[in-house]
Amino acid sequence: MWELIRANKRKSAFLITVMFGFMLFLGWFIGMYIDPVYGGYFGILAAFVIWLVQFLIAAASGGKVFLAGSRAVEVTKENYPQLYNVVEEMKIASGLPAMPKVYVIPENHMNAFATGTKPENACVTVTSGLMSRLNRDELQGVVAHEMSHILNRDVLYMTYCGIMLGTIVFLSEGLLWTFRFGMLGGGGRYSSRSKSSGGGGGGAQVAMLLLALVLAILAPILAQLMYFSISRKREYLADASAARLTRYPEGLANALEKISRGKVVPEKTSKVKAPMYIYNPEEGNAMKFSSLSSTHPPTEERIRILRNMSHGASYKDYQKSYSQTHEGKKSNLIPEGELEKEQSVSKRSPAERLNEMSGKEKAREIGDMIMTANSFRFLTCNCGLKLKIPPDYKHEKVKCPKCGTLHNVAAASAAAAAV
């Protein structure tokens, strides 16, 4: 495991260094375009400061910045033990030093992601749609996958790269904005210097303008390709680690199959957040992604690798299945040093599914948990109907829509709280 983490760090450090240098180069170029004498230094400084401010915000928030605006509700052992216990089991199996915070986002599509710059401030987040549609083995596979991202330091590196991508996009869009409104096109310092330097300056200015325009368009695309290349490899490794932690590769395979066949997709997915998810929400679109522009490996391929692990759940078994799937290509996913030290890991049988709730029952229970976290009050009428009273309800009484009984809200709420 530690050899795998070290190898992961080395490869990621190289790509992050390249991406960071590319970000500083873009800042230098924009600065030089504005002022050919001293602008480059100020451009590099501006790019670095923009990146640093965003990184400090992400580091201070412990990854919660990615949850902003998502209406995420924190899960505890008291308000939803089913999910909390699964996360706790995988925390113990993975050897993480601290229990991640657990969140549920009230959205009907199925997905999950991990955030946090270190294990001590990590978060595991799932959607309510995923919770209601997966059984325990499948949920355990998804949680183990996200826990693997935390353990392998994937979340830290993807946070670094996501912020760099955001900075590059910000700089490029700022440059394009200045072109659009003509702030640099004819009245900039570079323009006035060019005019004063004679006829040759005009050609140089046009060349500089065209180069700046091309760079402003291509920079975000190139940065995204680097960002996505880091993400794709880490998805395979997280699948391998999840199979090893759960000793049941079929659980994650079944979960990925259900998620990929889900008909509900989010309206819009941030390009920075997309690699964080266990499944790319855009993969189901009619337009087929190329291998370079996708944040994740093909889901069908990930499922096939997991289901071909017929002999065990170790890294060796995953590597063997991965190599068979990528026959004829360079297929060394896991370092040789890790494979040499790896012991066999036997597969377990699926968990017994006694008294498991239906999807509708799960969805209702999750909905009640989210409402409770949002200060809703619950009253059970004598007719059996559960009344769900929002926190901004101001009347003293509420009428049951089924039988017409009037309930005293304050008295009934106090009685329910005393139970």
pLDDT in tens, 66-107: 777 678 899 999 889 999 999 999 999 999 999 999 999 998
Q: 3-state DSSP call for residue 329?
A: coil
Give yes or no for residue 298 having a pLDDT over 70: yes
42-64 pLDDT, tens digit per residue, is: 989 999 999 888 888 877 776 66
- Of the residues 319, 342, 365, which one is the last residue of a structural domain? 342
Give yes or no for residue 18 having a pLDDT over 90: no
> In percent, how much of the chain has pLDDT > 70?
78
Mean pLDDT within 135-164: 89
Give the C-alpha separation, 88 to 319, whole Å.
Answer: 27
Residues 380 and 244 in one domain: no
Cα 259 to the chain's mean position, in Å? 15
Residue 359 lies in a domain: no
Domain of residue 26 covers 1-342
DSSP notation for 253-321: HHHHHHHHH-S---S---TTTGGGBSS-TTTTSSSPPPTTT-SS--HHHHHHHHHT--S-SSHHHHHHH
Residues 122 and 240 in one domain: yes
Q: Which of 146, 250, 338, 342 is catalytic?
A: 146
Give yes or no for residue 184 having a pLDDT over 50: no
Residues 119 and 214 in one domain: yes
Cα 214 to the chain's mean position, in Å? 30
Residues 66 and 172 in one domain: yes
DSSP single-letter state for residue 135: -
Which residues are registered as beta bridge partners of 311? none
Q: In this predicted model, which residue has the larger pLDDT, 141 or 353?
A: 141
Are 342 and 315 a contacting pair, CB within 8 Å?
Answer: yes
Give the C-alpha separation, 359 to 262, whole Å.
Answer: 14
Annotated binding site: 145, 149, 235
Residues 327 and 411 in one domain: no
Binning pLDDT at 50, 70 and 90, where does residue 321 land? very high
Residues 246 and 197 in one domain: yes
Binning pLDDT at 50, 70 and 90, where does residue 165 land? confident
Give the C-alpha separation, 144 to 157, whole Å.
Answer: 19
Average pLDDT of the chain to the nearest whole number: 80
Residues 294 and 388 in one domain: no
pTM of the predicted protein model: 0.79
Residues 336 and 381 in one domain: no
95 Cβ contact list (under 8 Å, min separation 6): 151
Mean pLDDT within 150-161: 83
Residue 206 lies in a domain: yes
Number of domains in the chain: 2
146 a catalytic residue: yes
CA distance to 99, 131, 280, 358, per residue, from 252 (Å) = 21, 14, 15, 20
Mean pLDDT within 116-122: 83
Annotated binding site for Zn(2+): 145, 149, 235
Q: In this predicted model, which residue has the larger pLDDT, 398 or 184?
A: 398
Residues 392 and 277 in one domain: no
- Of the residues 342, 366, 400, which one is the last residue of a structural domain? 342
Residues 105 and 253 in one domain: yes
Tokens of 279: 């499944």
Give the C-alpha separation, 245 to 150, whole Å.
Answer: 13
Q: In this predicted model, which residue has the larger pLDDT, 316 or 194?
A: 316
Residue 150 lies in a domain: yes
Residues 318 and 392 in one domain: no
Tokens of 141: 């596979």
Task: Please report where in the chains the tokens 């915070």 appear, as a residue.
Answer: 101
- Of the residues 320, 342, 364, which one is the last residue of a structural domain? 342
Mean pLDDT within 241-250: 95
Residue 15 lies in a domain: yes
Residues 55 and 105 in one domain: yes
Residue 218 lies in a domain: yes
Quote the pLDDT of residue 219: 79
Residue 304 lies in a domain: yes
Quote the pLDDT of residue 134: 94
Residue 127 lies in a domain: yes
Tokens of 295: 């944040």
